[in-house]
């Protein structure tokens, strides 16, 4: 009996997507819950697992656009399910079983239970799959499981928390590392080729449409200021160890900026509003989007109720979103409903920029590179770690006076972080 493999529903606003890659081939026998293909939409990219075990018959090739509910493959249930990898052969004597378990599984065995992306990690990093705890269906080891295993084995805490747009290090400069075997990477280009034509991904098309809409539909204006990062850097240096022991994450810069933005939104309420037709909608909650650059493009996960969360909770949220963004596991709920966005171009070395609004929001704060610059302090010239700040806003909603007041408030909170506790 053949079972149909259909494109699952991923949210009310998602009607189609592109099969960016098949992780199995026609004729392969797959297990229930094993990753079959990666579906890329205009919002997220996710691996679609098999809903039954059986022999695969692909109906739609990679690279084609598919509709929600469309049949893309068939699974023949009469086929024999693959044997589990990583287990000692029954013929091996019990005395030798521990030694057999310690051996890395052969590539042909791993092929039967791991997706190509996970298999690539196993082969390149020489991972013993038997040591990895699987969180997939029926205990299957996923790409995310392997990444977490490698991080716990080799990576320092700084490597785990570094990501674009979510700065958690004393000095910007870290980026999300691309995962070996990532299916979203374009095919290599021949040296002789003068140009390459390929279709834009759904996410890239969505980003392009959003940016053009922001330019065409809003009266955007940007105001600038700079802030002294000395106080925050001193706080982080002084309390980093105790903070990390208590909360399990590092104290980064982003939690301070989220708190500062919330404080400024509460002080300048006009910034926490948006236009909907002929109506002005004022928000009374503080869900802050944090822009994250990935291999697939820019995504903006939203930190919910930032006004009610501690620094530790904010850092945990930010770190969790960084991991999900890197693994391509952000959901639609993670990306919707923000009232304001923060983006950090400084991690790429940007000294100054004019960020573009994230519709339908009316404001976005741009952070930039921290750089030692001479500044006048009490009639003396001193070198201080300075950061330029840029606030882009919709002039239809916010006047210049309000925008400048908002940005100055953010600056004041960063330079004197005690304000965030005392609300002074």
The residues annotated as belonging to the active site are: 395, 399
Q: DSSP of 73-107, one letter per residue?
A: EEEETTSPPPPPTTPPPTTS-GGGHHHHHHSPPPH
Q: Where are the beta strands (DSSP E) in 167-258?
A: 220-228
**Using CA atoms, how far apart are residues 347 and 167, in angstroms rounded to an integer?**
8
In this structure, what are the phi and psi dihedrals at residue 184, rounded to the nearest 5 degrees? -85, -5
Contacts of 125 (CB under 8 A, 6+ apart): 146, 150, 180
**Using CA atoms, how far apart are residues 125 and 109, in angstroms rounded to an integer?**
17
Contacts of 79 (CB under 8 A, 6+ apart): 29, 53, 54, 55
DSSP-assigned letter for residue 380: E
Q: Where are the alpha helices (DSSP H) in 162-229?
A: 202-217
Q: Look-up: residue for tokens 């916010």? A: 398
Q: Look-up: residue for tokens 């094993």? A: 34
């Amino acid at each position: 009996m053949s079972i149909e493999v259909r494109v699952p529903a991923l949210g009310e606003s998602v009607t189609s997507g592109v099969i960016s890659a098949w992780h199995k081939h026609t004729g392969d026998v797959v297990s229930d819950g094993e990753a079959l293909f990666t579906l890329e939409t205009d919002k997220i990219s996710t691996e679609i697992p098999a809903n039954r075990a059986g022999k695969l018959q692909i109906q739609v090739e990679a690279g084609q656009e598919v509709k929600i509910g469309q049949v893309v493959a068939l699974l023949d249930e009469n086929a024999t399910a693959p044997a589990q990898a990583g287990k000692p052969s029954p013929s091996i004597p019990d005395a030798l079983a521990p030694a057999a378990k310690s051996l890395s599984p052969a590539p042909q065995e791993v092929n039967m239970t791991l997706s190509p992306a996970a298999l690539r990690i196993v082969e390149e990093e020489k991972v013993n799959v038997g040591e990895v705890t699987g969180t997939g269906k029926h205990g299957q080891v996923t790409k995310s499981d392997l990444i977490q295993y490698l991080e716990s084995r080799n990576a320092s805490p700084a490597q785990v928390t570094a990501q674009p747009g979510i700065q958690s290090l004393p000095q910007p400069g870290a980026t999300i590392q691309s995962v070996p075997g990532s299916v979203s990477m374009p095919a290599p280009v021949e040296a002789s080729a003068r140009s390459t034509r390929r279709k834009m991904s759904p996410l890239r098309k969505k980003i392009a449409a959003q940016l053009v809409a922001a330019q065409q539909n809003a009266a955007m204006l940007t105001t600038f200021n700079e802030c002294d990062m000395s106080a925050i850097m001193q706080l982080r240096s002084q309390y980093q160890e105790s903070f990390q022991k208590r909360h399990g994450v590092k104290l980064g810069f982003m939690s301070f900026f989220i708190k500062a933005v919330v404080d400024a939104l509460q002080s300048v309420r006009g910034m926490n509003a948006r236009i909907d037709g002929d109506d002005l909608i004022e928000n009374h909650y503080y869900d802050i989007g944090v822009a994250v650059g990935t291999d697939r493009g820019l995504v903006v996960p939203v930190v919910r109720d930032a006004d009610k969360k501690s620094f530790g909770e904010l850092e945990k949220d930010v770190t969790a979103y960084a991991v999900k963004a890197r693994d391509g596991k952000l959901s639609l709920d993670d990306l919707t409903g923000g009232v304001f966005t923060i983006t950090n171009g400084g991690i790429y070395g940007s000294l100054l920029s004019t960020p573009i609004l994230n519709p339908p929001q009316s404001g976005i704060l741009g952070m930039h590179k921290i750089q030692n610059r001479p500044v006048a302090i009490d009639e003396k010239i001193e070198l201080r770690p300075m950061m330029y700040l840029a606030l882009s806003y919709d002039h239809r909603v916010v006047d210049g006076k309000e925008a400048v007041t908002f940005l100055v408030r953010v600056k004041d909170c960063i330079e004197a972080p005690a304000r965030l506790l005392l609300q002074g």
